[in-house]
Structure 1
């Protein structure tokens, strides 16, 4: 087993301002570990995590792939999160490059069809639209969970950019809640963007039923 990244450097203050890795985080780690051999064979050059929080997921991906040939970009709206991501990389001897920005729009033009691995553990908890909007504008820890109507308002903002970001061999891993209407997400991404999908792993965590969906381009 690939060890979970060391997060012992994070303080109580950090975890009051940044999402503490939980069941959804660990399910994404399990999905990446399950596909570790395939990921290594692909030798990805650019990896991008949207909403990196503590930096746990990108550091874990770095342990799978190594540092020699991969660039690990990480975005978050929360300035404290980008600082924690940078520190987590240093703690685990993986060079992570965090950027404070809203989703990926500032990076889309520069990374057009260049991202080999795209990771997103979104704010998927259903809330009212005002709460989700306020959380994003405040750029604090609430932005890591308040998902708006059906928990999909923030996710939908990224889904429109996925096809633009993914390289021809790119893989997009999305954390979703069953209540997010996963069949609708999958069919929409296929019909609108030609991206096929597969449920990599799924698990019940308390009242939540979580899934990791992998999207890739359809074969020509």
Structure 2
């Protein structure tokens, strides 16, 4: 039976590109857990912000690949690291799936205008590790994890952009660390009309990860009890 996710042996690499790790696997596991809903969702535009090795966007494309809809889904992937753009392209090609891969800062790019209100599924494994602010956005592999104060500097830039890019039926899957205060992130998104729930929780020796799914809920009222409960 063909694999439903990217095969590690076919994932390309580079010394300055973040390799698939616990957070990558948690995000893909969350997508797998929600695969039935994703297929029924019938997305037209899917996007990964910060694609790194390409493991996640490739896995998503494989999950959604069906003979009757393979050509109808368009995939986009962005990363500020040019090495990651090349590596992601190689990973996609090795798995015979396609995405438009761009070296781009999603928080300040023309892509925002191009995809405004069109993205049905967005996946993000952001730089979430708490670091000094001067480490955020550095060239090379450090850009994959350096998240600034409380690990929130990049996350807080991505969320408003995600709100603009997501379609009316758009779903956002995001990896967060306990130190990022995920409850506060969910509250911010709730104030923009998004419900949320944790798809995957995972604890390692070094970190406690949550993969949270956000979706627009027209019935959600500010002040309601969060759907995710206590984090």
Same fold (TM over 0.5): yes
Write the deviation string for residues 88-145 of structure 1: whole angstroms up to 9, x where unpaired.
Answer: 111001112100011243211111110000011001000011111xxx142x110000
Residue 188 (structure 1) shift: 1.1
Identify unmatched segments of 5+ residues in structure 2.
220-231
How many Å separate the matches in 2 of 1:98 and 1:122?
17
Matches within 5 A, 1:112-131: 112-131=116-135
Write the deviation string for residues 16-75 of structure 1: whole angstroms up to 9, x where unpaired.
Answer: 110010000000010000000110111101001000001000110011111321111000
Matches within 5 A, 1:20-31: 20-31=19-30
- When the two chains are superposed, the root-mean-square deviation of aligned CA atoms in Å is 1.5
How many Å separate the matches in 2 of 1:3 and 1:36?
10
1:76 to 66, 75, 79: 79
Query: Structure 1 residues 41, 9: closer, same or farther in 2, change over 3 A?
Result: closer
Q: Flag as ranges the 4+ runs of structure 1 deviating above 4 A.
A: none
Residue 9 (structure 1) shift: 4.8
TM-score (norm 1): 0.92
- DSSP-derived class of the 2:142 partner: helix
Q: Does the CA-based 8 Å contact 2:51-2:77 persist in structure 1?
A: yes
Corresponding residue number in structure 1 for 2:64:
65
Q: Hey, which of these two has a bigger chunk of helix by percent?
A: 1
Q: Does the CA-based 8 Å contact 1:85-1:96 persist in structure 2?
A: no
Residue 161 (structure 1) shift: 1.1
Residue 7 (structure 1) shift: 4.0
Corresponding residue number in structure 1 for 2:215:
216
Corresponding residue number in structure 1 for 2:6:
5
1:99 to 99, 102, 106: 102
Count how many residue pairs are aligned between Structure 1 and Structure 2: 213
